[in-house]
Amino acid sequence: MGYNNLKKEIYVNNYANNSEIYRGELKNNILSIIIDYEIIIKISLIVFLILLYYFNVFTSDNEIFSSSTKLYIGFLLFIIIYIINASSIITLLKLLVLVIFLIIILGIIYFNIEKLQFIILFYYSFNYQLEKIYNNTSANYSEVIFSFIYISIISILSIVLYWDNIYTDSKKLSKCGTLINIIEDNNKKKNPFVYNIIIMNNDLINTSTSHYVLKIIYDFIKNKTTVDFGTDNGTYEDGVVSFKKPDYASLLKTNRENLKQINKELDKIKEMPDSSDKTEKERNKKIEMVSIEGKIKELEKLRDNSIKDSAFFYLNLKTMKSEKIENIDPDIINTETYKYLLVDEYNKKIPYDKTSKELIKFTKNYSNNEFYNMNVINDIIYAKNNRNKLLI
């Protein structure tokens, strides 16, 4: 009985987990499709609204749509088109929900309009005043223009003061704004919260983004950092300074093998009968041995100093600790000769957003200082973990 209950519990848990994964994948797929067709959706919506206004309001002979009413609706249409163009598709979907709610409220008011006579009185009173101004030939148009200018100035001042107040308050919530921007920027990407940064030599003839020195992939979804060494291995023949540090290990190995060979040759010379030729050969081998021993000591000293000196650091998202690449000199690779670029999974350049710029700045500075400020990393991680809470 206990075994059956355990099987049932495991099945339920697996089903729940699979359902959650499926819902997450479905949500991401839908978002990806919507974002891909964002421009088409916006243009179609704008064209639909313009045609709707033209055929149902502008060319209408209905008495309801007077010249002033058409002007109001046209101005409102202009504002709506501006909002559609300036907003992301996710924001528009949220506004659509709000518009549907407002339409329902207006529908309720419309069907109960007889009970709300004051709305009708206000509308016709205001409309009559405007028609009286424009239709009365004896009206002082300079006064009308002055009134409109005065109202415009007051409106502009009010907007400036309002946004100044909003800006003052938003400074206190700047961290929240940063997190929301990170989420909105990633909602537009096919692979959200994955950043590919390459380092390439900009002075080479081959400046293809596929010919890079190093590629660092920050995958905040899987919490891991991947480092890929590119086809640019730092071997240049045109005088360009290489980012690679000398391979002291290989040089030491070669010199030590040469030293062993000389010792073997010296042993063979010692076995030879005494002669002036033997003495000369023995002396030359000893001189050669001393020279190689001096090179070995110098290389060991350079190697030790190189280890003590800076290496190229990068952040491992899994351990949240620094790891280093010892054969890359960060002082050279952070010069103007080398550039840090944001690319996609196919090594093609993609547009930068504020988060990407900050992450590139972090990668460049962190490579030479493993104690560099990690604010941008923490912000991206927090935004990823709370993206469903911050955006309602």
Q: Is the pLDDT of residue 286 over 70?
A: yes
Least confident window among 29-43, 172-186, 254-268, 330-344: 29-43
Question: Domain map of the chain by residue range?
Answer: 37-139, 173-244+328-392, 245-309
Mean of pLDDT values over 1-26? 46
Structure tokens at 221: 């979804």
Alpha carbon distance 384, 392 (integer Å): 14
Alpha carbon distance 221, 75 (integer Å): 45
DSSP 65: S
Q: Is the pLDDT of residue 6 over 50?
A: no
Q: Which residue is it, tokens 């009559």? A: 128
Given pLDDT bands bounded at 50, 70 and 90, which one contains residue 109? low
Please count the CA atoms within 13 angstroms of the CA of 191 that sit on its side-chain side: 14
Task: Give the chain's mean pLDDT.
Answer: 75
**pLDDT for 131-154, tens place per residue?**
555 555 444 445 555 566 667 777
Least confident window among 11-20, 246-255, 353-362: 11-20
| Predicted pLDDT of residue 1 | 43
Q: Is the pLDDT of residue 375 over 80?
A: yes
Mean of pLDDT values over 352-372? 92
| Predicted pLDDT of residue 325 | 87
What does each C-alpha distance from 307 to 98, 190, 327 come to in angstroms? Answer: 61, 41, 10
Compute the C-alpha angle 163/164/168, nearest 5°. Answer: 110
β-sheet bridge partners, residue 338? 201
Q: Give 258's contacts (C-beta < 8 A, 6+ positions apart).
A: 292
Alpha carbon distance 244, 216 (integer Å): 17
Mean of pLDDT values over 150-165? 71
| Predicted pLDDT of residue 33 | 60
Alpha carbon distance 111, 105 (integer Å): 10
Given pLDDT bands bounded at 50, 70 and 90, which one contains residue 158? confident
Burial of 16 (0-12, 13-18, 19+ CB in 10 A): exposed
To the nearest whole percent, how much of the chain has pLDDT over 90? 17
Report the SS3 class of residue 67.
helix
DSSP 54: I
Structure tokens at 91: 């924001």
Mean of pLDDT values over 235-244? 69
| Predicted pLDDT of residue 104 | 83
Mean of pLDDT values over 4-13? 43
Alpha carbon distance 58, 391 (integer Å): 38
Query: pTM of the prediction?
Result: 0.47
Mean of pLDDT values over 70-75? 77
Phi, psi torsion values for 217, nearest 5 degrees: -110, 115
Given pLDDT bands bounded at 50, 70 and 90, which one contains residue 298? confident
**pLDDT for 167-225, tens place per residue?**
556 555 566 778 888 888 898 888 999 999 999 988 887 778 888 999 999 999 999 99
| Predicted pLDDT of residue 283 | 80
Alpha carbon distance 259, 300 (integer Å): 15
| Predicted pLDDT of residue 46 | 86
Alpha carbon distance 356, 315 (integer Å): 16
